[in-house]
Amino acid sequence: MSGIRSDALIYPAQNSIVATIDHDMHRKRRNTINAFFSSASIRRLEPIMQESMSRLLERLREAGKKGEVLRMHYVLKACTSDIITKYAFGDSFHFLDQEDYATPYMEATDVFHLFNHAMCHFPIVGTLLAKAPTWAIKTFIPSLSDMWDKRGVSPGKREHVR
């Protein structure tokens, strides 16, 4: 196991805020994102939320007129994703504007979340996924393809930022 730090084997996201054990380090990491959750920031988020909610309601009205059955899990994930990415990056992937609400991408995120359970018990799974080439993901875990295609992509520019 040379080359792999022992703390990386304990938890694959050891550098995340959630996984930080040390209180002082957790506070430092939390302080870097506090501005996103201040009262002023949340007020600035309101127009973004209203825009996405208006688009959502418009799409729901259209679906109602056509008698469409919607998979609300994906519809609401599309709306939430648009809000979060617009707030965090200044633009979004506009999932609400896609006819299928980006269902393949949303399904890919669901599959990825299933892997989280395995990664908690077998952290090497996370390491292998992170290092896997795109062709391997598309061949062996095709349900992750849509999500993998957006890794390192900026919503506003639609180009890789890695």
Residue 105 above 70 pLDDT?
A: yes
**Residues in CB range of 8: below 8 A, 6 or more apart:** 14, 123, 127
In this predicted structure, what is the pLDDT of residue 157? 57
pTM over 0.75: no
Read off the pLDDT of each residue in 77-102 and give the average, rounded to a whole number. Answer: 93
68 inside domain: no
Quote the tokens at residue 72: 């609300």
Given pLDDT bands bounded at 50, 70 and 90, which one contains residue 19? low
pLDDT of residue 28: 84
CB 69, CB 88: distance < 8 Å:
no
CA dist 93 and 104 (Å) reads 13
Range from 45-49, 57-61, 149-153 carrying the lowest mean pLDDT: 149-153
Judge whether 95 lies within some domain: no
* Higher-confidence position of 63 and 131: 63
> Is 65 domain-assigned?
no
Domain count, the chain: 1
Greater confidence (120 vs 161) lies with: 120
- The count of C-alpha atoms lying within 13 angstroms of the C-alpha of 64, restricted to the half-sphere facing its C-beta, is 6
148 or 60, higher pLDDT: 60
Is the Cβ–Cβ distance between 118 and 125 less than 8 Å? Answer: yes
| Residue 101 belongs to a domain | no
Host domain of residue 29: 1-37
d(CA 101, CA 84): 15
CA distance linking residue 127 with residue 142, whole number of Å: 18
Whether 42 is covered by a domain: the verdict is no
Establish if 32 belongs to a structural domain: yes
pLDDT, one tens digit per residue, over 53-80 is: 999 999 999 999 999 999 999 999 999 9
Cβ(78)–Cβ(102) below 8 Å = yes
144 belongs to a structural domain: no
Higher pLDDT, 59 or 121: 59
Is 21 a domain residue?
A: yes
Q: Which residue has the higher pLDDT, 27 or 82?
A: 82
